[in-house]
Amino acid sequence: MEVDKDLERQYRNKMMIIATLIIVYSISGGSLSPDFSLAGAKLSFSAPQNLVRLAVVVMLFFWWRHRQITVDVRHKIKVDAYHGCYIPDYLLRKIRENGTRNGSAMHGYSEGCLVGVKLTDDDQYEHDFISVQVMWARLLHITIYVIHSSREDRRPTASYEMTLTNFRDIIAIILPCWCSFARNAWSKPDFGDAILPTLVMVIAVISYLYN
């Protein structure tokens, strides 16, 4: 929605400005004077450090509101990263040998993130059409579904599924995912809109606590 984009931009800009000021103030060892001048009037504060604490609270509020209205964007970032993954040939063969035959790969899914992924070329599958999908229910809980059909008839003829438990197999999926995420962060604006503000907020909080 257009309204959500406008709200997202407002909360992001306000949060980034306050967070940047907190970072500069903290890393430079800043301190506030108890006396201020406003429109020619002199104001005195007995506890000026409370103004910095207030700025941190306001920053966290803007971050919280920004996070609430960027749920769809963050989900898109995750799905785009998953789409950049690929299944190594050795893992595909392992699934065919050790996976469950004709399990629930044809059924619907109610939780997690199910996306299609790329398949590295292999001549032994020249006459088959293979659809590979990966389900992330949690970061390290990965289930792979492989559906076979002929190129003449795309209707599924066999399916295999396997939940990964071997560390090497998990890394073989996660590493390309993180590389895909890094490429998207560099080339697409979604990262700067939805993820970068959180990183800046974390830096601001840490710098303030260590000041």
Q: What is the pLDDT of residue 108?
A: 44
pLDDT band for position 16 (cuts 50, 70, 90):
very high
Q: What is the pLDDT of residue 116?
A: 53
Cα 2 from Cα 8, distance rounded (Å) = 10
CA 14 to chain centre: 22
- The per-residue b/e assignment along 29-52, b for 16 or more CB within 10 angstroms, e otherwise, is eeeeeeeeeeeeeeeeeeeeeeeb
Cβ atoms < 10 Å from Cβ of 105: 22
What is the tens place of the pLDDT at every residue in 166-193?
888 888 878 888 888 898 889 989 999 9
Give Cβ neighbours of residue 81 (< 8 Å, ≥ 6 apart): 177, 178, 180, 181, 184
Residue 154: pLDDT over 60? no
Do β-strands 118-119 and 86-87 pair in parallel, antiparallel, or remain unpaired?
Answer: parallel
And the tokens for 101? 């035959």
Q: What is the pLDDT of residue 199?
A: 94
Do β-strands 41-44 and 128-138 pair in parallel, antiparallel, or remain unpaired?
Answer: unpaired
The beta-strand segments (E) located in the chain are 35-38, 41-44, 86-87, 100-101, 113-116, 118-119, 128-138, 141-150, 158-163
Let me know how long the chain is: 211
Sign of the torsion angle spanned by Cα atoms 28, 8, 139, 93: negative
* DSSP state, residue 84: T
CA 167 to chain centre: 22
Does the global pTM surpass 0.75? no
Pick from 37-51, 82-96, 143-157: least confident: 143-157
11 and 65 Cβ atoms separated by less than 8 Å: yes
Gap between the terminal Cα atoms of the chain = 40
Distances (CA, A) of 163 to 69, 115, 137, 148: 33, 15, 11, 18
